[in-house]
Structure 1
Amino acid sequence: MKKSKRAEVNFLPDHPEGQTDESLENERVAIAEETRKKRIDATLIPRKMEASFSLRRKEVVEVEPLVEEIRERWSALFYEEEICREFFRITNINLLSTFIGSLDKYTAPLLKLYRRCREAFGQEVKILLENLDEQETDAEDHYTKDVQIGILSVMKDNVAAATSLPKVTNIAIILKEAVVLRDIVDLPTAFAYLFGLLYAINMEYPQELKYTFEAIQKIFRDLGGSCSARVQSLKIKLC
């Protein structure tokens, strides 16, 4: 039996009484058929996604399909509303409100910490602090290549003045070199959806960003028990 690694309350639930893989597969098929319609029933998909939750988790956790396979079978899972609902089913925590609330609480202490230690963080963070919104523009496919997990900000070209901030025209989430969600309202919301998707499809944190995601999980979302020494140190500094 695979066990929860990130404080998931409903990591691998049993099927509801009287339901089987076959009966819940019928629910999945109904969802797939509905998503292909021009006018989607706004109440049917949430209801059937709730009913088929145990089958979906069984597939995601035990079979470990590729992201593209999950998108093929459970396309509704990549709707913004369903990312939020799935995260709540798994953790019993609201995806957006808890993250935005934590951003409000920790942004100022984080910036103070970075500015105080900017020399230790190196040139990359110094540039980031000089202009937090500065990003380059380029073709979307250029940035999705070899990207396993990421957030893509598409900027408007030909900014009038050199001192002007670039205008964001699109924000998207990349998983396994594919854009799985686009037209997101802002970067904090995009990161919240990305975090929710990692839970929804049971995807591991990228090794090079494991402390970043551990901090988001255990400080910003209060999910899980003890922290690593590095994350615990940051938590103390933010208090």
Structure 2
Amino acid sequence: MMKYTKYPQDYQCEEVAAALMRAHPCLGHLGSKTRFWGWKQSLKYKMQNYRTKLGRLGHPEIRVNSLKHKREGQGKAAANIKKPRKAEVNYIPLHPKGKTTESLENKRIALLSELKKRDNEVVIKATMEKTFSHRRLEIVEQRPMIGEFKNRWPALFQQSEVNAEFLRITTKPLQSKFMSQLDHFSDKLIQIFKSKGGVKGQRIKDVLAIKDSCDNINTRRECILRSLVIYFNEDPGSFFKEYLTSAAEDAERDIGVMGIYTIRRDGDGESEDVGIVIEGIKVLTDVGSVIMGFIMLFGLIYALDLSFPDNLKYTFEFFQKVIMNLDGHKLNAKIQQLKIKLFA
């Protein structure tokens, strides 16, 4: 259990206890309806005790939650617990064998020089892999501002490394799984969207009309994404911003916490740039399309340990729990209803 998560949820302890009963029926508890309720409670206590021992040994994921690392006024052990909340498998991993925080910091500094060299992707990728534990501890423990963190780790802010970091954190591929699953459900989603009536249904039909007039696969995916946002009663206009070339600099100022921008030469022309803004800073540019921008932003939220934006929280949760199948046991009522229709 500790290999997969240091802070298992109730259903995870229950799954392990049930598996124990299936493997060893003789261990069942008489008088218990499930015959494994006692084992479930025992596992919870054993995990708590084991976490205490790991914390004393200095395990980073446990140590970050110790009382001496909490802010002033947070004197309770349960205050501000930093733990996986979006099915992260490697939330704060241990440093590689033989490495220390100081040696990994030296590698980070050396990486800044490697970025200036041409055709150096192999070295950059290897160094980012080695410094993963150092980077995660910095993100979770210090909560740096995006601008400051981008200056320290510029290599992370490119598409290949966002994909690699997501794989390190969740053990699942980002771009390929996201695209394949979205395409797999696209016909069913369109069918559900078109059955929607009222003002919301009309708005969705107007968005899907763009798909029907264009054969571009990314435009089709973008229309499905925008329709999904409307379906959840969220506003795509507050998150997906479009600008003319003459007003390109407005993107950083207009988009506050998080958003995706598109810059066009004229109102209906091809996009010149599609990028991502977080905390008023352009973190990725020239991602190619809005759907790719959404995928990269999804990956950056995991890589930077951020929360989903409030104005699109249901959309992001749908992609996390249904499309990417990350911690899909407990769903919001809106998402649960859509999932039932999707799998009907």
Q: Report the TM-score, using the length of structure 1 for normalisation.
A: 0.89
**CA-CA distance at 1:80 after TM superposition:** 1.1
1:15 maps to 2:95? yes
Q: Following superposition of structure 1 onto structure 2, how do residues 52-67 of structure 1 map, counting pairs within 5 Å?
A: 52-67=131-146
* SS in structure 2 at match of 1:39: coil
Residues 98-132 of structure 1: CA deviation (Å, up to 9, x unaligned): 00001111222222222211425266434323435
Tell me the amino acid that sits aligned with residue 14 of structure 1. Answer: L
1:97 maps to 2:176? yes
User: Unaligned stretches of 5+ in structure 1?
Assistant: 160-165
Residue equivalent to 1:28: 108
Q: Following superposition of structure 1 onto structure 2, how do residues 40-189 of structure 1 map, counting pairs within 5 Å?
A: 40-119=119-198, 121=200, 124-131=203-210, 137-138=243-244, 139-147=247-255, 148-157=257-266, 166-189=269-292
> Kindly, what percent of the aligned residue pairs are identical?
38
Tell me the amino acid that sits aligned with residue 17 of structure 1. Answer: K
1:192 maps to 2:271? no
Aligned residues: 232
Residues 155 and 70 of structure 1: CA distance in aligned 2, closer, same or farther (over 3 Å): same
| Separation of aligned partners in 2, 1:136 and 1:204 | 24
Residues 211-236 of structure 1: CA deviation (Å, up to 9, x unaligned): 11100100110011321222111111
| Separation of aligned partners in 2, 1:186 and 1:140 | 16
**CA-CA distance at 1:13 after TM superposition:** 0.8
| Separation of aligned partners in 1, 2:88 and 2:260 | 24
Tell me the amino acid that sits aligned with residue 140 of structure 1. Answer: A
The answer to whether the Cα contact below 8 Å between 2:243 and 2:264 also exists between their aligned partners in 1 is: yes
The answer to whether the Cα contact below 8 Å between 1:87 and 1:200 also exists between their aligned partners in 2 is: yes
| Separation of aligned partners in 1, 2:84 and 2:200 | 33
The answer to whether the Cα contact below 8 Å between 2:264 and 2:272 also exists between their aligned partners in 1 is: yes
Tell me the amino acid that sits aligned with residue 281 of structure 2. Answer: A
* SS in structure 1 at match of 2:299: helix
| Separation of aligned partners in 2, 1:115 and 1:122 | 7
The answer to whether the Cα contact below 8 Å between 2:253 and 2:280 also exists between their aligned partners in 1 is: yes
Tell me the amino acid that sits aligned with residue 100 of structure 1. Answer: M
Residues 198-207 or 124-133, more deviating: 124-133
| Separation of aligned partners in 1, 2:208 and 2:336 | 24
Q: Report the TM-score, using the length of structure 2 for normalisation.
A: 0.63
**CA-CA distance at 1:208 after TM superposition:** 2.1
Residue equivalent to 1:162: none
| Separation of aligned partners in 1, 2:186 and 2:272 | 24
User: Unaligned stretches of 5+ in structure 2?
Assistant: 1-64, 66-81, 212-218, 224-240
Residues 165-190 of structure 1: CA deviation (Å, up to 9, x unaligned): x3222211111122111111222222
RMSD after superposition: 2.0
The answer to whether the Cα contact below 8 Å between 1:34 and 1:40 also exists between their aligned partners in 2 is: no
Task: Point out the structure with max Rg over C-alpha.
Answer: 2
Residues 116-173 of structure 1: CA deviation (Å, up to 9, x unaligned): 11425266434323435698542222233242211112223175xxxxxx32222111
